């Protein structure tokens, strides 16, 4: 979906900081040069090779001049032959060195991108839930694809062109000057116009480029919505409306592309015209100077041939400027990710957690984003080892948040969560994930076999341990009855398994870890009664002997809990056993009353 294709690569809604100011650009470039330190040898090599290619390119016209003046005009056949051979040798060297420089620079450039991709990915994997709340998955994917892609252009050919254009422009100018200052002056007449045109082009094309990217982003989100939302769209017969929206964004994309074509065509046309006009001027004025004996015929021809080496670099540099800018913008964003400090991180001297213990929540408060309403305020609760705590209450009250904090998916802003007397923030993350396991409503399945998916929870588990865990939950037969048993491929996101089977995988994963505490968000979706019963039975076996925190949606679950906490408006308002709370006649009693009315057990 996010196929970032070079210029105008796919992004969505993340272009706000596409233009960096000069200081930012400088900081970004300095940092990437530091990061590319290990490719320094490659870069030095490339510089040597580029210099040789540039010298070869410039040697061509000089040799032609020699051939004309010393060979043709002087009627010296051997001088002419030597020049022709020398020319051929120079071209051959340029060819070989040119290929070499291409490979060397690409090796350094692609190596840098590889390094960057791995660094960013590793950084993403270490981030906490809070980070993923803030950043949209699509945007992060775009960082790894489109942003890296916009640098690929630079490293694949941009850097090389940049170096060679710069050198060529510089050396060609001095070469021309040494051949004839008069003709150099004539050439310079068009330069002020050329530079003015290049500056304008650079601005216009940058605007066009940003616009194309923005429109590509909009077009992609229209496409994405149309595909992911197709069921809802068809259910309400909104296909025409969706097609119209897509057409609209598509037309906007077309228009922005056409604008960028317009910008390029006038500029390239102008450069070409300037080149031809200069050549004509040189031929005219040069001819006159030859006639007067000021310069040789060979010099005029060399001049005409060298002119291309003056005009091409100007055009290339103004084009490259934008590439460089967008690469700097992309790097800036990627560095932003690299600099994000994980909120849930491991303490420097982690304490090991006891095998079992109470989970104690001490006066915690938690807010998702600064400035928003607290999702929990001053909540305290204790879950005694081996007992079950059910969290009930209206939607948005903070139940899931409390459950997540008890498993340290987030850290509270104030207060503490302890397991066996150890603050979760002091424990090692590996220990923590072995003691406390969260079972999400929808377990994520990776492409691979059922076995691979189970082993994610514990890669070192033996086959016996795996089968033992499945046996314990009474699920071994269920999994073995799949077409290829545990080797059945689940495909991406487990699309070959039913929702119920995916849930069973999630439960088995937890069983494999054998944690002391289970945190689960009870599924609200309805499954067929057979699967439902199987899940219920497996869950019951999984919970046996463990501490359980469950965000409950069913009365049956609540009734089986030792303790029930009613969460309302970010606080625990009632807490006790089912009977105690019913006797209290408060919020819980009313809730149970409603439950009984709506879903008779």
CB-nearer residue toward ligand ADP: 157 or 368? 368
CA angle 407, 413, 419 (to 5 degrees): 35
Under DSSP, is residue 479 helix (H, G, I), strand (E, B) or coil? helix
CB-nearer residue toward ligand ADP: 131 or 335? 131
Under DSSP, is residue 5 helix (H, G, I), strand (E, B) or coil? coil
C-alpha span between 388 and 546 (Å, rounded): 8
Q: How many helices (H) and strands (E) does the chain have?
A: 22, 10
| Helices 239-292, 191-228: inter-axial angle, 10-degree rounding | 160
Question: In which residue are the tokens 């420097």 written?
Answer: 348
Within 127-238, residue ranges assigned H as helices are 129-134, 137-142, 148-153, 159-179, 181-188, 191-228, 230-235
CB-nearer residue toward ligand ADP: 392 or 581? 392
Nearest CA-CA partner of 182 in 30, 273, 277, 293: 293
Q: How far is the CB of 368 from ligand ADP (least distance, A)?
A: 3
Q: How many CA atoms lie within 13 A of 471 on its CB side?
A: 6
Distance from the Cα of residue 468 to its chain's centroid: 40
3-state helix, strand, coil in the chain (%, to 5): 65, 10, 25
* CB atoms near residue 101 (< 10 Å): 22
Q: How far is the CB of 482 from ligand ADP (least distance, A)?
A: 33
Give the residues lining the site for ligand ADP (CB under 6 A). Answer: 133, 368-369, 375, 393, 395-401, 551, 567
Q: Which two tokens stand for residue 186?
A: 């004539």
CB-nearer residue toward ligand ADP: 30 or 369? 369
Order of strands, sheet of 547-551, starting from the edge strand that comes earlier in the sequence: 436-439, 517-521, 547-551, 388-392, 563-568, 571-576
CB-nearer residue toward ligand ADP: 276 or 369? 369
Q: How many residues does the chain have?
A: 601
């Amino acid at each position: 979906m996010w196929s970032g294709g070079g210029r105008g690569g796919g992004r969505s809604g993340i272009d706000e900081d596409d233009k960096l100011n000069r200081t930012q650009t400088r900081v970004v470039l300095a940092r990437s040069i530091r990061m590319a330190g290990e490719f320094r040898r490659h870069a030095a090599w490339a510089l040597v090779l580029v210099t040789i290619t540039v010298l070869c390119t410039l040697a061509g016209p000089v040799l032609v001049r020699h051939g004309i003046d010393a060979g043709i005009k002087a009627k010296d056949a051997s001088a002419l032959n030597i020049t022709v051979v020398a020319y051929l040798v120079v071209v051959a060297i340029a060819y070989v060195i040119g290929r070499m420089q291409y490979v060397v620079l690409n090796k350094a450039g692609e190596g840098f991108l590889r390094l960057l991709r791995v660094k960013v990915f590793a950084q993403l994997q270490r981030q906490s839930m809070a980070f993923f709340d803030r950043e949209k998955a699509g945007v992060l994917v775009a960082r790894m694809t489109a942003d890296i892609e916009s640098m690929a252009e630079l490293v694949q050919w941009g850097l090389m062109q940049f170096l060679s254009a710069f050198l060529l422009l510089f050396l060609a100018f001095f070469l021309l000057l040494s051949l004839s200052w008069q003709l150099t002056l004539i050439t310079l007449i068009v330069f002020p116009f050329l530079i003015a045109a290049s500056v304008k082009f650079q601005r216009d094309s940058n605007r066009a480029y940003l616009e194309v990217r923005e429109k590509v982003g909009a077009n992609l989100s229209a496409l994405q919505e149309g595909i992911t939302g197709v069921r809802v769209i068809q259910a309400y017969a909104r296909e025409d409306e969706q097609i119209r929206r897509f057409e609209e964004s598509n037309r906007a994309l077309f228009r922005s592309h056409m604008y960028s074509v317009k910008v390029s065509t006038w500029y390239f046309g102008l450069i070409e015209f300037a080149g031809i006009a200069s050549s004509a001027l040189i031929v005219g004025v040069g001819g006159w100077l030859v006639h007067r004996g000021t310069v040789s015929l060979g010099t005029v021809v060399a001049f005409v041939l060298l002119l291309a080496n003056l005009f091409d670099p100007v055009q290339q540099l103004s084009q490259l400027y934008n590439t460089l800018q967008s690469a700097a913008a992309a790097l800036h964003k990627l560095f932003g990710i690299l600099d994000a400090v994980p909120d849930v991180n491991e303490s420097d001297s982690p304490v090991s957690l006891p095998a079992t213990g109470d989970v104690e929540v001490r006066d915690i408060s938690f807010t998702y984003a600064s400035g928003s309403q607290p999702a929990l305020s001053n909540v305290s609760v204790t879950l005694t080892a081996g007992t079950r705590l059910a969290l009930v209450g209206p939607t948005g009250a903070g139940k899931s948040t409390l459950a997540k904090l008890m498993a340290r998916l987030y850290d509270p802003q104030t207060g503490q969560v302890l397991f066996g007397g150890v603050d979760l923030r002091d424990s090692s993350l590996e220990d923590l994930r072995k003691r406390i396991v969260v079972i999400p409503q929808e377990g994520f399945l990776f492409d691979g076999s059922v076995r691979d998916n189970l082993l994610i929870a514990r890669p070192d588990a033996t086959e016996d341990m795996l089968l033992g865990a499945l046996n314990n939950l009474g699920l071994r037969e269920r999994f073995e009855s799949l077409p290829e048993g545990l080797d059945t491929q689940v495909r991406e996101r487990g699309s070959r398994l039913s929702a119920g089977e995916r849930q069973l995988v999630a439960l088995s994963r937890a069983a494999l870890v054998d944690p002391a505490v289970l945190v689960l968000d009870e599924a609200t979706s309805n499954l067929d009664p057979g699967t439902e019963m199987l899940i219920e039975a497996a869950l019951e076996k999984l919970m046996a002997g463990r501490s359980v925190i469950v965000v409950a949606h069913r009365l049956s679950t609540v009734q089986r809990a030792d303790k029930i906490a009613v969460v309302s408006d970010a606080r625990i308002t009632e807490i006790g056993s089912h009977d105690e709370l019913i006797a209290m006649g408060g919020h819980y009693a009313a809730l149970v009353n409603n439950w009984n009315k709506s879903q008779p057990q």
